Chain A
Amino acid sequence: MNKTYYGKLIFELSKSGRTGYSLPKVESKYQLSALKCQRQAALELPECDELTVVRHYTNMSNNNFGVDTGFYPLGSCTMKYNPKINEEAATMPTFTRLHPATPDHCAQGALHVYYETQRMLSEIAGMGEFTLNPYAGAHGELTGLMVIRTYHERRGDTARTKILVPDSAHGTNPASAAVCGCEIVQVKSLADGTVDVEDLKTHLGADIAGMMMTNPNTLGIFERQIPEIAKLVHECGGLMYYDGANLNPMLGVCRPGDMGFDVMHINLHKTFSTPHGGGGPGSGPVGVRKGLEQYLPNPRVVKNFEMIEDEEEYSYYSIECNDEALGSVSSFLSNYGIIVRAYVYLLSLGKENVPMAGKLSVLNANYIKEQLKAYYKLPIDGLCKHEFVFDGLKDEYAGHHDEPDHVVTLDVAKRLLDYGFHAPTIYFPLLFHEAMMIEPTETESKETLDDFIAVMVKIAEEAKADRQMLKTAPHSTPVRRLDDVRAVKDAIFKF
């Protein structure tokens, strides 16, 4: 990353009369100027030559930090390496030039990729069937909740409108439930961060549509009570929803379907190595146990089998719409290009390596935790899964929280940027004041982890020696700490 700030906007490079495109000349008697309802206001877009545009965005990219730049231990985001073969495959013209209205018989290759990805995810998750139509994790949650509501509606049970959500859940869980027209009932956590089963029992009743959970939970702790929880929710008539945000450590070890979950989503941009793209495009496939597949959204990709004369079996794929489906959540087959990337990743890893990804992510997380817990507060000790949460620096380094200049999690996070690491997720989960959530993923080497550990220790020492330096970090990034309050006050959202 270039530490010199570039900072220009394309509008500032524009010069009247320059162009950066070329189109064939069309001589035609059909003139658009004949149209009635034309735009009146002049459209001001940049006028730039090609090289200016290329340099501009290249310089901008040099002020950006990605997984390819350095270690990205962002908890709950699973910032694993994005293999380049995924990109090569997804940008093949056979996929990028295929129109979504292409007849099925001309798109058998594309449909094969979609169908096989669906099938492989079902196997990994222990589910009956998947749809790959949701665009992102939160969209998957919404779709999954629609499945749950549809299931109840079709049984004529319209009283079930409440969704149980642990208080440690991601913000998208309650937000998705609200968009889906559900009421949210928060379930308390125990001191160790796991669901309080006694509290759960007090909420169960004929108005419960289902419960949303991650496992391992947001603190990286495996919810051992899951069979009991699933039993209780099922007995009261609700369904269990698995938020796949934390699926990575479970790969090949423990499947959501076997834990008692009925509906779930997976983030392909977390677990299956597709790039995060600075906030998308992602993909949030939804899986259901057998018996619920008819409710999955349209359109569906189906594999059909036919016998031909010599009794040889012949199969082909088709896109189908099903009257029993909950409706549809995407115009076409969603972020198809992302699905191709996940498909390629699964082919590369294969059955031998999928379980290793999970195990090594857990190894990496515990390795960091064990070596930093002397410096940072570890509220919940013991084996974590793919991630863990510190509650800030220990007081002996940070200073007591009564002291006005004591070092907080934000300072540690900002100082990490100076050392060429991305910060962990901070101030989430909300269970701890100084939360710092660390998820290294399996693609990082021991050397990288050792460097990170050394820097985290060094920052602890710096906190003791020079608090002011930490309070004003970062010092060597393209820009320094930003004025968030001014951004809201000035409300400048365009050039």
Chain B
Amino acid sequence: MKFFPHTDNDVQEMLRVIGVNSLDDLYAEIPEELKFKGELRLPSAMSESEVRRELQGVANLNDQLVCFAGQGAYDHYTPSVVPYITARSEFSTSYTPYQAEISQGTLQYIFEYQTMMCRLTGLDVSNASMYDGSTATAEAMMMCVAAAKKRRKVVISDTFLPAVMDVVKTYAHFHGVELIVVAAKDGLTDLDAICRLLEGDDIAGVLVPQPNRFGLIESFDGLADACHAHKALLAINTMASALAVLKTPGEWGADIACGDAQSLGIPVSYGGPYIGYLCTTDALIRKMPGRLVGQTVDTEGKRCFVLTMQAREQHIRREKATSNICTAQGVMCLWVACYLSLMGTKGLREVNENSYANAHLLHDRLLETGLFEEAFPGKEFLCEFTLRWKSDKMDVNEMHTALSMEGFLAGVVVCEDCGLIAFTATEERTEDEMDELVEAIKEAAL
């Protein structure tokens, strides 16, 4: 299958217009020794039917497990409308909306997305997406440093998901940021330790997660005041879906809200595409990375939308830009806007309520087996929680593998040596599925 419309005659006519004899002559200026000789070691061209058959073969090698895993990717309900709308090729096959006159569709959904993210986070302004939650957090770190001008230290709580932490550490290393990792205290952010560090008056920013890597809900009482008293910025990374019910970054007094919006009905998709979000205050808008859509009028006075404040961006400011980001997650903004339009406030709250109910039910049922104990007793959580495996028949990894053979993705092992495992139950899980999981675990541990 090929996707070129050229007939042999077309090629000949076109070559004649150009004044060369063959397609190879179009490369006449390239030194012979640089040219690739021989045949590429690729499969032979396939027809569409053959491609389908090949893909079905590949698909058969994957096992569909019942998902009780989270750790940054959550199996929530997706209304059928969302993939249907986002697949419209007027949206998906367009470029970044530089020609605003023929891109109002893209510009409008980004404007809607920005509005919804501001309302969710309680902050003033949202950009038009980052790649994912981890890179959004790394960008938040770089924003802190850029806003502080001379300070290069950023404090991060060790309660971030390890995958996010790894990315932030990588960016910090190359960007010349001294990242100070504050160890968790009883599974939560150690606010006292952070406040002590702020006393040094050389911290550019503080990064904390909500809920944290163990699924626990954090309290950031007094943290924003402490940061601001020492001229540091506060960035809170929140799982987007939880913003509907938990105290918002705006309410905590944060300067930056960032995170992954995958939890807003985006399929888990083996890791992506998801969408990172980043919101901030009006005061910091010129330090914000990424694209931004603003409202304006056309020459006839019609309200319309356009990419704006581009003087921050790489194609104008080059090495002095706030970030190198160019292509971000585009049509995933539409995914979020469409999802939130369907769910509304009530629906998003119900998602959280049902997930909360399911997760707490599963939590108690798993404890009842006697095979687990609470890792962080009495701490609040939403849809993900961490338990300690205590059976001496097998270690936690062996249990996890055994369960995968039974068709379950039984959480994610977060600490092999200490037997910690994080389970998630979203609104998509049924009571039957939870019962079956519990039974399968009991069976495995026999």
* Contact for A43 among B99, B120, B401, CB less than 8 A: B120
CA distance A37 to B221 in the complex (A): 10
A179 in complex: contacting residue of B77, B245, B324, B342, CB < 8 Å: B324
Whether, in the assembled complex, A155 has its beta carbon less than 8 Å from a beta carbon of chain B, the answer is no
CB of B411 to closest CB in A, whole Å: 8
Closest chain B CB from A29 CB (angstroms): 8
Residue A107 is within 8 A (CB to CB) of chain B in the complex? yes
Contact, CB under 8 Å: B85 / A57: yes
Q: Do A68 and B90 touch across chains, with their CB atoms under 8 A apart?
A: yes
B residues near A146, Cβ cutoff 8 Å: 170, 174
Any B CB within 8 A of the CB of A54: yes
Q: Which residues of B contact A60 (CB under 8 A)?
A: 104-105, 108-109
For window 15-72 of B, CB contacts with A under 8 Å fall at 15, 17-20, 23-24, 26-31, 33-36, 39-46, 48, 51-52, 54-55, 58-65, 67, 69, 71-72
The verdict on A278 contacting B247 (CB below 8 Å), with A45-B340, A175-B319 known, is: no
List which A37-95 residues lie within 8 A (CB) of chain B. Answer: 37-48, 50, 53-54, 56-58, 60-69, 72, 74, 77, 79-83, 85, 87-89, 91-95
- Partner among A67, A329, A442, A479 whose Cβ is within 8 Å of the Cβ of B298: A479
CA distance A100 to B271 in the complex (A): 5
Residue in chain B with minimal CB distance to A442: B4
Q: How far is the CA of A225 from the CA of B435 in the complex (A)?
A: 68
1/0 per residue A318-356: CB within 8 Å of B?
000000001111111111111000001011111111111
Q: In the complex, what distance in Å separates the CA atom of A298 from the CA atom of B167?
A: 10
User: Total A-B residue pairs with C-beta atoms closer than 8 Å?
Assistant: 682
Residues in A with CB closer than 8 Å to B232 are none
Q: CA A184 – CA B344 in complex, angstroms?
A: 47
Assess whether A351 is in contact with B58, with CB atoms less than 8 Å apart.
no
B272 in the interface, Cβ–Cβ < 8 Å? yes
Q: Which of B100, B271, B357 contacts A26 (CB 8 A)?
A: B357
- Is A482 in contact with B93, judged by CB distance below 8 angstroms? no
Q: Which of A131-139, A306-314, A459-467 forms contacts with chain B? A: A131-139
A128 contacts which chain B residues (CB < 8 A)? Answer: none
What CA separation (Å) do A9 and B169 show in the bound complex?
Answer: 40
**Considering only CB atoms and an 8 Å cut-off, how many residues of chain A contact the other chain?**
197
Decide if B345 touches A44 in the complex (CB within 8 Å): yes
Q: How far is the CA of A446 from the CA of B64 in the complex (A)?
A: 46
**Chain A residues within 8 Å of B91, by CB:** 61, 64, 66, 277-278
Q: Is A175 touching B323 in the complex (CB atoms < 8 A)?
A: yes
A434 vs B349: C-alpha distance when bound (angstroms): 53
Query: Is there contact, CB below 8 Å, between B319 and A184?
Result: yes
Contact B296 A483 (CB under 8 A): yes
CB of B93 within 8 A of CB of A276, answer yes
A278 and B319 contact, Cβ closer than 8 Å, known pairs A74-B95, A347-B46: no
A100 to B91, alpha carbons, bound, how many Å?
Answer: 27
Q: Given A83-B3, A99-B75, A445-B6, A171 and B316 touching (CB < 8 A)? A: yes
- Among B26, B217, B321, B427, the one with the most A-chain Cβ atoms within 10 Å of its Cβ is B26
Contact A328 B163 (CB under 8 A): yes
- A184-B319, A279-B106, A493-B114 known; A348-B329 Cβ under 8 A: no
A46 CA to B104 CA in the complex, in Å? 20
